[in-house]
Amino acid sequence: MTNDNNTILIVDDQQEILNSLRRIFQREYNVLTASDGNEGLQLLQQNQVKVILSDQRMPGMDGVTFLKKANEIQSQAVRIMITGYADIEASINAVNEAKIYQYVSKPFEPDELKLVVKSAVDRFNLAKKNEELKHKLQEQNEILQKENTDLKSQFSQQLDLGNFIGYSAPMQRVFKLVKKVMNTPTTVLLLGETGTGKEMLAKMIHYNSNRSNKVFVVQNCGAIPDTLLQSELFGHVKGAFTGALKDKKGLFEQADTGTIFLDEIGDTSQALQLGLLRVLQEGEIKPVGGTQTKKVDVRVIAATNRDLITDVAEGRFREDLYYRLNVFPIVIPPLRQRKEDIPDLVNFFVKKYSQRINKNITGVSQNVLSCFTNANFPGNVRELENEIERMVTLADENTTIGTDIISDRFLKEHKETDNVMEYSQLKPAIEKVEKALISKALMQTSGNILKAAEQLGVSRVGLHKMLNRYEINAADFKNNN
């Protein structure tokens, strides 16, 4: 099909009319003419036209019939009929079906006809533009949608690698386990002291699993009274207790096909433990006050910082439930057993909190870092995170955070001897000793590199190299801060 930009088709059985119309339009348009409907339809099969001008009274196929068929071939072409009003009224239905844009009554004025055709061409062009815009919009939409899913998958990757800090060997072992269990429906039990990242890891497991686009719900089992917790988790039926005015769906039903994270699982009552056993064993829940059980498909991740084995031994925790939960335990080691992670965590949190309040902070001083690596962190990563949030808030713009604003408890611990034996590998332990001795020498010499090098028994160049390697800034020690 030829794709002429400005083609109009004229159909009339009278040759002299065709000739005069051609003369009127040929300067502005590429004019095709046909002397009957069939010839007109043939031309439409081969040429794209913007406007069709047709006579109504023609032997064989009349104008309305022709325009109706034309509509089936090129619906975009704008249709104009040249006719007497009497003819229109006689066949108004057929005229509607042919979707005629305008009628021109005979005899027509050439100028009037020119105007009509011009506005029909404009109409065609507008419709075409509209169509193109719609297309473009749709394309844009598709691109946006794709970007959206890309972002989503980037987000899960971020959870996988970026946000969860842990290059130390013990954390790498944790990640290995996580990767193994991630895409299974297996129940996972996360064990670890407070603040070690159990909840964060539970999220990471869910958002990297094949359930990632399903619901992830969290329930802290230690925070609310037992009866309420039962109804939260398993739902209740109307009238189960005072105030149960209608049936309520529990979290297990809401999380169907998704994941539920049960925090502080060790704090649950015997009654609730029985309900949990039913879910884990049969994949069923029974709403409070109900008699019917319901099937659910929920991946359970549980966590506790309690010693469940002792709880089992002392009769506080059902042994059968313990075994159901303990299918795939993952122990997150306390921060004091993976001090290699501290510098990364510090950098991560400094960035996080300084960006949050839009304050430029260049980092923390070597002294602050050694305070942290010497600390015990009973509150683990959460404690470190809170301390850094506090220091970033206190720190002046464009500075490196020094020990002048560190909490006292870290300073005190800093003075106690550091135990290098906590490291399992030689390299980080040696680095630690080197860093500590360099920091000590710089502190004692108020940041004088020459004197510190003498004290350490190394050359000035040698000390410089080490300072660079460990990113220690001698100037930080000038005021002994």
Report the interface residues with ligand ATP, using CB under 6 A.
163-166, 192, 194-200, 263, 305, 381-382, 385
- In the complex with Mg ion, the residue whose CB is nearer, 261 or 410, is 261
For residue 433, what are the contacts with CB-CB under 8 A and spacing of at least 6?
Answer: 420
Q: How far is the CB of 189 from ligand ATP (least distance, A)?
A: 13
Cβ-proximal residue to ligand ATP, closest one: 197
- In the complex with ligand ATP, the residue whose CB is nearer, 263 or 387, is 263
In 255-365, which ranges are continuous DSSP H helix? 270-282, 308-313, 319-325, 342-356
Measured over the CA atoms of residue 409, residue 415, residue 419 and residue 423, the dihedral's sign is positive
Residue 192 contacts which entry, ligand ATP, Mg ion, none (Cβ below 5-8 A, type-dependent) = ligand ATP
Q: How far is the CB of 327 from ligand ATP (least distance, A)?
A: 20
- In the complex with Mg ion, the residue whose CB is nearer, 222 or 283, is 222
Selected range binding Mg ion among 33-41, 172-180, 198-206, 396-404, rule: CB under 5 A: 198-206
Q: How far is the CB of 177 from ligand ATP (least distance, A)?
A: 15
User: How far apart (Å, rounded) are the C-alpha atoms in residues 382 and 277?
Assistant: 31
- In the complex with ligand ATP, the residue whose CB is nearer, 332 or 442, is 332
Binding-residue total with Mg ion (CB under 5 A) = 2
Dihedral, 405, 409, 410, 415 alpha carbons, nearest 10? 120
- Measuring CA to CA, how many Å separate 422 from each of 38, 176, 217, 336, 369? 95, 22, 37, 8, 17
For residue 194, what are the contacts with CB-CB under 8 A and spacing of at least 6?
Answer: 305, 379, 380, 382
User: How far apart (Å, rounded) are the C-alpha atoms in residues 385 and 165?
Assistant: 12
For 180, the token pair is 């193994």
- In the complex with ligand ATP, the residue whose CB is nearer, 195 or 363, is 195
- Number of Cβ within 10 Å of residue 134's Cβ equals 10
Is residue 146 helix, strand or coil? Answer: helix
Q: Are 354 and 361 in contact (CB under 8 A)?
A: yes
Within residues 239-298, the interface with Mg ion by CB under 5 A covers: 263
Q: How far is the CB of 462 from ligand ATP (least distance, A)?
A: 35
Residue 166 contacts which entry, ligand ATP, Mg ion, none (Cβ below 5-8 A, type-dependent) = ligand ATP
- In the complex with ligand ATP, the residue whose CB is nearer, 56 or 196, is 196
Q: How far is the CB of 252 from Mg ion (least distance, A)?
A: 20
Helix or strand run (H / E) with residue 438: helix 426-444
Residue 350 contacts which entry, Mg ion, ligand ATP, none (Cβ below 5-8 A, type-dependent) = none
Q: How far is the CB of 452 from Mg ion (least distance, A)?
A: 44
User: How far apart (Å, rounded) are the C-alpha atoms in residues 234 and 298?
Assistant: 12
Pick from 385, 199, 143, 177: which is nearest to 207 by CA? 199
Residue 194 contacts which entry, ligand ATP, Mg ion, none (Cβ below 5-8 A, type-dependent) = ligand ATP
Q: Which of 39, 199, 413, 454 binds Mg ion (CB under 5 A)?
A: 199
- In the complex with ligand ATP, the residue whose CB is nearer, 382 or 451, is 382
Q: How far is the CB of 170 from Mg ion (least distance, A)?
A: 19
- In the complex with ligand ATP, the residue whose CB is nearer, 192 or 447, is 192
Is residue 363 helix, strand or coil? Answer: strand
Pick from 111, 61, 60, 113: which is nearest to 82 by CA? 113
Q: How far is the CB of 149 from Mg ion (least distance, A)?
A: 30
**Binding residues vs Mg ion (CB under 5 A):** 199, 263
